[in-house]
Amino acid sequence: MNKSNKFSPEVRERAVRMVQEHRAEYPSLWAAIESIAPKIGCVPQTLHDWVKRAEIDAGLRAGTTTSDARRIKELEREVK
C-alpha cells in the first residue's frame, strides 16, 4: 500500500514553523501541536511526526536525518 502525500512540502514546513514559533505560548509541545493541527487540516500525531523529523534534521534531536536515511537506502540497493 502506497502512502499518498496529502500535504505539500510547503504546507508541512509552514506547520512545523508555526509550532516552533508558538511553542512558548503553550504549556507543552503537544498542546501547541493539538492547537495548530486542526488549522492545517491534519491529525496531531501527523504534525508531531513532522516536528520530530524537522528537529532531527536540524540536529536538535537524536536520530537519523532524512539525507542519511536516503543515502543508507541507496547503499542498500547497491549491495543488493
**Which pTM value belongs to this model?**
0.84
CATH topology for 9-75?
Answer: Arc Repressor Mutant, subunit A (1.10.10)
DSSP 24: G
C-alpha cell of residue 40 = 492545517
pLDDT value at 1 more than 50: no
Say which residues have a Cβ less than 8 Å from residue 57's Cβ, sequence separation at least 6: 65, 66, 67
**48-70 pLDDT, tens digit each:** 999 999 999 999 999 999 999 99
Domain spans of the chain, in order of start: 9-75
Residue 4: the pLDDT is 57
CA distance 1 to 49: 20
Quick: pLDDT tens for 6-52.
Answer: 899 999 999 999 999 999 999 999 999 999 999 999 999 999 999 99
Phi-psi region of 63 (alpha: psi -120 to 50; beta: other; left: phi over 0): left
Cell of 13: 514546513
| pLDDT at residue 3, as a whole number | 58
